[in-house]
């Protein structure tokens, strides 16, 4: 079992597990039983889950920033109310996921510290700026669309708390995807300027959306083991292909052009062939070199520091209540 650090270096896990316990665990997973927090699990399984779930949680929280930018500039009250609700949903997703990760023996503070220290990742997609209102449509349609494609199989992931969190998250992401597509539909039915804005957003978000599924399978160090432990149920490339197949006709239906000259229906495969993602760009963004990566992280660190007084007050209140209870007993 290997993990990659931020520099792309592989690090071997060294924990030797009891072979009997490991065999019983693997049999349960193969039998599609959920593994629950108090069950025995191999250390590498626990670590992989902490990595994936915490990175997923960080993505939801950092993902509030690009859309949050547009709450004050939404074009009307209806759009503003919808966008506030959506951004709030993403905050909720982050919280369920942090709670699911905490059941594996890590605290929320430790996860936050790892994010702020650059040790934990979050999805590359949130390092791109939202330049126009059409970007809010493109995020809902393409980014939430890619997120759902990846997350629907995670409802059957082998770790119970993660799978259960995914059920509600998928329902909400599905609403988000539709609201994004509806923004794009309205713009494509609008003026030539609105149509140009929608196409420009499509051009900028398409390739980063394909990167959300992770590196190609032959460069994905975690996929093989994660599939074996049924943490992941489908590979990065399988999910990317499904996304292209579902999204391309949606684009065509409203007159948007997918910005990929190599995109072509392959009748033999029953799927679209498509061009190569710029993997150099992907790895650069993973390393923290995305267009607005510094601003995103600064915004999170500022929010954490500005909120210190709330955490202190909540802690003091809890301590006061606990000591009052002891005194009364």
Residues that bind ligand FAQ in the complex, under the rule CB under 6 A: 3-4, 51-52, 55-56, 59-60, 63, 90, 121, 123-124, 139, 143-144, 147, 150, 211-215, 220-223, 226, 232, 236, 286
Q: How far is the CB of 192 from ligand FAQ (least distance, A)?
A: 28
Q: How far is the CB of 292 from ligand FAQ (least distance, A)?
A: 14
Ordered alpha helix ranges (H), 103-158: 108-116, 134-138, 144-151
Q: How far is the CB of 50 from ligand FAQ (least distance, A)?
A: 10
State how far the Cα of 243 lies from the Cα of 33, in Å rounded to an integer. Answer: 28
State how far the Cα of 170 lies from the Cα of 82, in Å rounded to an integer. Answer: 17
Smaller CB separation from ligand FAQ, 122 or 274: 122
Residues 6+ apart with CB under 8 A from 57: 93, 94, 95, 97, 98, 101, 111
Q: How far is the CB of 182 from ligand FAQ (least distance, A)?
A: 15
Smaller CB separation from ligand FAQ, 198 or 212: 212
156 SS3 class:
helix
Token pair 């980014």: residue = 143
Q: How far is the CB of 54 from ligand FAQ (least distance, A)?
A: 9
Smaller CB separation from ligand FAQ, 81 or 322: 81
Smaller CB separation from ligand FAQ, 42 or 214: 214
Query: Of the candidates 306, 303, 307, 296, which has an alpha carbon nearest to the alpha carbon of residue 118?
Result: 296
Q: Shortest Cβ contact with ligand FAQ: which residue?
A: 63
Smaller CB separation from ligand FAQ, 218 or 329: 218
Smaller CB separation from ligand FAQ, 135 or 144: 144
Q: How far is the CB of 20 from ligand FAQ (least distance, A)?
A: 28
Q: Is 42 left (phi over 0), alpha (psi -120 to 50) or beta?
A: beta
State how far the Cα of 287 lies from the Cα of 298, in Å rounded to an integer. Answer: 16
Integer angstrom CA distances of residue 91 from 60, 84, 101, 107, 111: 7, 11, 15, 18, 15
- 181 contacts 253 by C-beta, under 8 angstroms: no
- Which residues is 3 bridged to in the sheet? 11
Smaller CB separation from ligand FAQ, 21 or 219: 219
Q: How far is the CB of 313 from ligand FAQ (least distance, A)?
A: 29
């Amino acid at each position: 079992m290997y993990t990659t650090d931020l520099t792309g270096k592989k690090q071997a896990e060294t924990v030797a597990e009891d072979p009997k316990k490991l065999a019983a665990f693997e049999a349960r997973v193969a039998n599609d039983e959920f593994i629950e927090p108090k069950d025995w699990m191999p250390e590498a399984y626990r670590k992989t889950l902490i990595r994936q779930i915490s990175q997923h949680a960080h993505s939801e929280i950092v993902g509030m920033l690009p859309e949050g930018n547009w709450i004050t500039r939404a074009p009307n009250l209806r759009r503003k109310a919808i966008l506030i609700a959506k951004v709030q949903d993403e905050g909720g997703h982050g919280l369920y996921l942090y709670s699911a990760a905490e059941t594996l023996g890590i605290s929320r503070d430790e996860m936050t510290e790892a994010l702020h220290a650059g040790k934990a990742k979050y999805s590359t997609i949130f390092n791109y700026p939202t330049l126009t209102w059409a970007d809010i449509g493109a995020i809902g349609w393409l980014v939430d669309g890619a997120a759902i494609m990846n997350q629907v199989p995670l409802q059957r992931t082998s770790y119970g708390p993660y799978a259960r969190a995914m059920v509600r998250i998928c329902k909400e992401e599905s609403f988000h995807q539709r609201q994004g597509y509806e923004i794009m539909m309205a713009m494509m039915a609008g003026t030539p300027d609105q149509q140009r804005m929608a196409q420009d957003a499509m051009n900028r978000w398409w390739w980063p959306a394909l990167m959300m599924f992770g590196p190609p399978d032959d460069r994905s160090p975690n996929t093989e083991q994660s599939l074996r432990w049924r943490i992941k149920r489908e590979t990065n490339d399988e999910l990317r292909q499904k996304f292209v197949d579902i999204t391309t006709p949606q684009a065509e239906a409203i007159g948007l052009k997918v910005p990929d000259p190599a995109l072509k229906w392959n009748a033999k495969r029953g799927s679209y062939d498509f061009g190569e993602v710029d993997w150099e760009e992907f790895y650069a963004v993973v390393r923290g070199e995305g267009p607005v990566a510094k601003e995103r992280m600064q915004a999170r660190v500022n929010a954490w520091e500005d909120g210190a007084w709330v955490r202190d007050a909540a802690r003091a209140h809890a301590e006061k209540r606990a000591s009052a209870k002891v005194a009364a007993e």
